[in-house]
Amino acid sequence: MGGNYPGPGAAGSSGLAPNVAAGLSYLLGFITGIVFLIIEGRQPVVRFAAMQSILLSVAYILISIVLGVLVGILFAVHLWFLVYPLSAVVRLALFALWLWVMIRAFQGQQVSLPVIGAMAERFSRSA
């Protein structure tokens, strides 16, 4: 899924344009994702962005936990330097991905991430 959002005249129940609501749904991760899923649940593009924001946040949290455990285990055997730089690069890449998706949403472009986007599409249709 990809494409442009409806124009500014198609404001939702919050009074925000769809691109603004979609962009704001990424702002604080799953927190704003849940808020906009509840507030703007009738607009498909905002519902998709909110669901993708929630799933991206969950993926970030899970990846952070796994990397933290790996660093902790390797720190115990004095080999933390093997995975710590990788951990930093992965976290930076996830931050850049979050920022890019949020900026594209504010610009009115719908971005569907490879695995998370398909899940968000499926969940947003059933919501």
pLDDT in tens, 51-93: 999 999 999 999 999 988 988 888 888 887 888 888 899 999 9
Q: What is the pLDDT of residue 12?
A: 65
Listed in sequence order, the DSSP H helices in the chain are: 18-27, 30-39, 44-76, 84-106, 114-126
Residue 54: CA count within 13 A, CB half-sphere:
18
Q: What is the pLDDT of residue 79?
A: 84
Q: Which of 63, 80, 73, 65 is nearest to 115 (CA)?
A: 63
More reliable by pLDDT, 111 or 76: 111
Q: What is the pLDDT of residue 7?
A: 52
For residues 32-59, give the mean pLDDT.
94
Task: Tell me the pLDDT of the chain averaged across its residues.
Answer: 88
For residues 14-40, give the mean pLDDT.
93
Give the position of tokens 């849940």. 34
Single pTM value for the model: 0.84
Q: Rounded distance, CA 49 to CA 22, Å?
A: 5
